[in-house]
Amino acid sequence: MIVYLNVAAHLPALAQQNPLAPAVYCPNGQDSFGRIAYTQYTFQQLNEASDYFAAQLTNFGVRRGMRTVLMVPPGLEFFTLTFALFKMGAVPVIVDPGMGVRNLGKCLAEAEPAAFIGIPKAHLARRFLGWARRTLQINITVGRPRLSRYQLARVPESVLGRFEQPTPFPIAEVEANETAAILFTSGSTGVAKGAVYTHAMFTAQLESLRSLFDIQPGEIDLTTFPLFALFGPALGMTSVIPHMDATRPAKVDPEKIFQAIKNFGVTNLFGSPALLNRIGRAGEGVFLATVRRVISAGAPVPAAIIERIARMLPQGVQVFTPYGATEALPVAVIGSDEILAETRFATDKGAGVCVGWPAPGIDVRIIRISDDAIPAWDPALELPANQIGEITVKAPWASPAYFQRPDATRLAKIQDSDGSFWHRMGDIGYLDQRGRLWFCGRKSQRVVTKDRTLFTIQCEAVFNAHPAVFRSALVGVNRGGVVEPVLCVEREPDAKDVSETQLRDELLKFAAAFAHTSSIRTILFHPAFPVDIRHNAKIFREKLAEWAARRLK
């Protein structure tokens, strides 16, 4: 057997190197002054607690390779259970609870889990809705009341912080291609799919992120996205979970974010574009003195949002907008200095959004657009610089397959002659003459008219440059057998002095100024775009297309 580094092995190593350093802070009510109180684990405590949970789960019958649903909110148990499952060699199945009951049930049935670990609310839903009833064998409750055969016992205080070396849980020796986890995509442009993560993939991803952002042990990470929070302890950072509803970043209280940054001396801030928009609008006069970098992902970040955040940062500190997906992250990255000084102006003219320079260790190619499977790589597929096509990547941290979805895997992967594969991102873009990657939109959301093909991000940026536009979405509506491009617009809430008639006329002038937008002659105003629950930023253009079709009947 080829032994490869289990991703959980980072934790005991850090616990040995710096046992008393805090690993995780989580909100825990309020103190006597009404301020948010936090509970914490040091690296030693997190390591020992995960050993304790791993032993319990083993006694309950959870085994190596067993697919195990984890439905626990961000908190100490979430971190501890995830590392416990990795140590055991079990396979956590992570599904975003905000994707909706129906989609959640489909994902869980598809994953065919044998074990289910969740809070009482999750078990009530599991029972009532019959989630994965056919395959579940072991059900474990976290917290009270007990709603399953097994209940996870809390870690006794006597276990934590012992300076005599306790007997550690034996970390599973895993193979490089052994499945470490199944992470479901957001399903923002179709059915959510379970991306298979291997231990080798996790390890390569960690090293790529460490190198790309120069992350140093001892940094303080404030992450507003639970899955990204798991990278913190593995990279030697202290993870601070802010007081917020992680499924609704667009509704976050900015003051609680600012308070956490100040109180903990946060150096690394990760947030979706929706969260950055929220705190940027409330950041007048706020200075984030300790922050060394801001990272935002999940959807393109408008330059106006980046500009607001950049004003709050020390000189030389940047907002980075890495590009990637659940199946492959990171792919490319660019910083706010380059965006605000150069690329934003090209974006406003319809060049697409520059997502930056390919990450070290990844190969990015642009191929001809096709909706069909491509079984084998052929250099003839590639397009030259500045020509728009489908983005494909090859990297050690790219997911090799979708779980139980051979047809989706066949459409997304291209086999290469050396045994490796290329992942098709499902995105449209191009590489410029300097080697930077530009994003023009999702392949499935392109609008094909009788005269030309329009790409969403490339077109929408022209209209988003208007100060009264919060965001826009290009959709195609079939009218009498002909596809018509329609622009849906969500207005800036503060732009009340501009009437719809005036704004429509001004936007039509914007459209006429560029060849790729000149065919857009229908503009509809929408009160609030439907967006994904994970980031509150990816626009459900398919739903908007249905809405627009009804409006134009």
Domain count across the chain: 3
DSSP string, 383-439: --TT--EEEEEE-TTB---BTT-HHHHHHHEEE-TTS-EEEEEEEEEEE-TTS-EEE
414 & 481 share domain:
no
pLDDT in tens, 81-126: 999 999 999 999 998 766 777 788 899 999 999 999 999 999 999 9
Cβ(41)–Cβ(47) below 8 Å? no
404 & 473 share domain:
no
Tokens of 351: 């060049």
Name the domain boundary from 240, 258, 289: 240
381 & 477 share domain:
no
Residue with tokens 């410029």, as numbered in its chain: 432
Span 238-252, average pLDDT = 89
| Three-state secondary structure of 215-273 | CCCCCEEEECCHHHHCHHHHCCCEEECCCCCCCCHHHCCHHHHHHHHHHHCCCEEECCH
The Cα–Cα gap between 364 and 148 comes to 47
Taking residue 515's Cβ as centre, other Cβ atoms within 10 Å add up to: 9
Amino acid 534: pLDDT: 63
Cβ(118)–Cβ(126) below 8 Å? yes
Smallest CA-to-CA distance from 111 within 169, 47, 66, 176 is with 66
460 & 536 share domain:
yes
What's the farthest any 2 CA atoms get from each other in the chain?
Answer: 77
Cα 235 from chain centroid (whole Å): 18
Span 457-466, average pLDDT = 96
427 & 546 share domain:
no
Maximum mean pLDDT: which of 6-15, 227-236, 325-334: 325-334
Amino acid 159: pLDDT: 72
In a domain, 305, yes or no: no
Work out whether strand 469-479 and strand 482-491 pair parallel, antiparallel, or are unpaired.
antiparallel
Tokens of 372: 């069909």
Smallest CA-to-CA distance from 300 within 244, 246, 356, 228 is with 356
The Cα–Cα gap between 115 and 49 comes to 20
Name the domain boundary from 443, 470, 498: 443
In a domain, 430, yes or no: yes
123 & 236 share domain:
yes
Amino acid 402: pLDDT: 97
410 & 450 share domain:
no
Amino acid 406: pLDDT: 96
In a domain, 223, yes or no: yes
The Cα–Cα gap between 290 and 308 comes to 17
398 & 506 share domain:
no
In a domain, 301, yes or no: no
434-470 burial code (b ≥16 CB/10 A, e <16): eebbbbbbbbebbbeeeeeebbbbbbbbbbbbbebbb
What's the CATH code of the domain at 406?
Answer: 2.30.38.10
Q: Given CA atoms 329, 26, 313, 213 in this order, what sign does their dihedral have?
A: negative
In a domain, 120, yes or no: yes
118 & 203 share domain:
yes
pLDDT in tens, 175-230: 999 999 999 987 666 678 999 999 999 999 999 999 999 999 999 999 888 777 77
Name the domain boundary from 187, 218, 240: 240
The Cα–Cα gap between 127 and 147 comes to 9
Cβ(36)–Cβ(222) below 8 Å? no
Cβ(94)–Cβ(182) below 8 Å? yes
Span 372-379, average pLDDT = 97
The Cα–Cα gap between 1 and 56 comes to 27
Confidence of residue 1 (pLDDT cuts 50, 70, 90): very low
Cβ(233)–Cβ(11) below 8 Å? yes
In a domain, 77, yes or no: yes
Contacts of 430 (CB under 8 A, 6+ apart): 352, 366, 383, 385, 386, 387, 388, 389, 437, 438, 440
In a domain, 102, yes or no: yes
Amino acid 4: pLDDT: 47
Taking residue 199's Cβ as centre, other Cβ atoms within 10 Å add up to: 24
In a domain, 460, yes or no: yes
The Cα–Cα gap between 66 and 385 comes to 45
45 & 107 share domain:
yes
43 & 143 share domain:
yes
The Cα–Cα gap between 58 and 156 comes to 18
Smallest CA-to-CA distance from 306 within 346, 259, 338, 268 is with 338
pLDDT in tens, 288-343: 999 999 999 888 899 999 999 999 999 999 999 999 999 999 999 999 999 999 99
Q: Mean pLDDT of all residues in the chain?
A: 92
Contacts of 343 (CB under 8 A, 6+ apart): 334, 351, 353, 354
Q: Judge whether residue 2 has pLDDT over 70.
A: no
pLDDT in tens, 521-546: 999 999 999 987 666 678 999 999 99
533 & 472 share domain:
yes
Strand partners of residue 491: 469
Using omega within 30 degrees of 0 as the cis cutoff, is the peptide bond preceding 485 cis? Answer: no
Tokens of 55: 């032993």
Angle between helices 101-111 and 120-129 in degrees, nearest 10: 80
pLDDT in tens, 22-63: 999 999 888 877 788 899 999 999 999 999 999 999 999 999
Residue with tokens 């380059």, as numbered in its chain: 338
The Cα–Cα gap between 253 and 256 comes to 6
Measured in degrees and rounded to the nearest 5, phi and psi for residue 322 equal -65, 145
Amino acid 301: pLDDT: 92
Amino acid 487: pLDDT: 98
Higher pLDDT, residue 463 or 553: 463
Q: 53 lies in which domain range?
A: 7-240
What's the CATH code of the domain at 477?
Answer: 3.30.300.30
